Amino acid sequence: MSPAQYHTVLKKMDAVMEALADAQPEWNEQDRVLDFQMRVLRSEVLKAESGHPFVEFAQLRPPAPPPPQSTPPPDTFRIMLVDDDEELRNVVRLLLGPEPGLSIVAEAANGITAIELAVNCQPDLVLMDVNMPVLDGLLATRILRTVLPRAQIVVVSGNREPEVEKMSAAAGAVAFLAKPVARLSLLELIRSLRRRIAPLPSGSAPA
């Protein structure tokens, strides 16, 4: 599809989104998917015209759900879990529960919801599954690296093929963990990543 054709499609989708916004202030999942598809099309237009994909996501962020009721202390290491398997998210939550200084600030079951929540809750670390509905973890990782460059993303997948690990690194993940994840390995990695973004002592300047 040429850039001109993309613009034609976008114009029609813009009209649809305006009608949705007028009809209902609260968006459902289908509305967010349509909106996200429109953003992807826009990014493809920019890629075709300038060679820089996904730059528009830094300017056009998807609407995010309300923030959580409780806010963790400022020095807490904020973690978001992204996996379409709720049971696996529960397991990871139990694995991390006893570790002091960690807080799971959000959970998502697909890439679109992950991006929405991440923009809102600003996690320090995202544990990202690969195979998910709506939007897979590799594309979500690539987009999050543009929207939230400070967030560290670890891909967690049951696919142990070397190619998946390479694709994760290419998307911007800082590490790859194979399922099932051992608690010790997960905690060691999180502690290492936490030290990377540890705040400087008061009055110190970066080297």
Per the listing, tokens 């400087």 go with 200
Query: What pLDDT sits at residue 196?
Result: 79
Q: How far apart are CA 75 and CA 97, in angstroms?
A: 17
Is 147 in contact with 57 (CB distance < 8 Å)?
Answer: yes
Q: How far apart are CA 186 and CA 162, in angstroms?
A: 19
Question: pLDDT tens for residues 44-80?
Answer: 555 555 554 444 443 434 444 444 445 666 678 999 9
Domains of the chain: 3-58 (no CATH), 77-196 (3.40.50.2300)
Between 106 and 34, the higher pLDDT residue: 106
CA 82 to each of CA 45, 142, 150: distance values in angstroms, whole numbers, following the listed order = 28, 14, 17
Between 183 and 39, the higher pLDDT residue: 183
Question: pLDDT tens for residues 98-143?
Answer: 888 999 999 999 998 999 899 889 999 999 999 998 889 999 999 9
- Residue 158 φ then ψ, to 5°: -80, -10
Question: pLDDT tens for residues 16-27?
Answer: 555 555 555 555
Maximum Cα–Cα distance across the chain: 55
pTM: 0.64
Q: Using pLDDT thresholds of 50, 70 and 90, give the confidence band for residue 147.
A: confident
Q: How far apart are CA 9 and CA 145, in angstroms?
A: 27
Of residues 32, 41, 31, the one with CA closest to residue 7 = 41
Is 82 in contact with 117 (CB distance < 8 Å)?
Answer: no
Q: Quote the Cα angle for 80-43-14, to 5°.
A: 100
pLDDT > 90? residue 4: no
Question: pLDDT tens for residues 171-183?
Answer: 999 999 999 888 8
Tokens linked to 174: 């800082």
- Residue 82 φ then ψ, to 5°: -130, 105
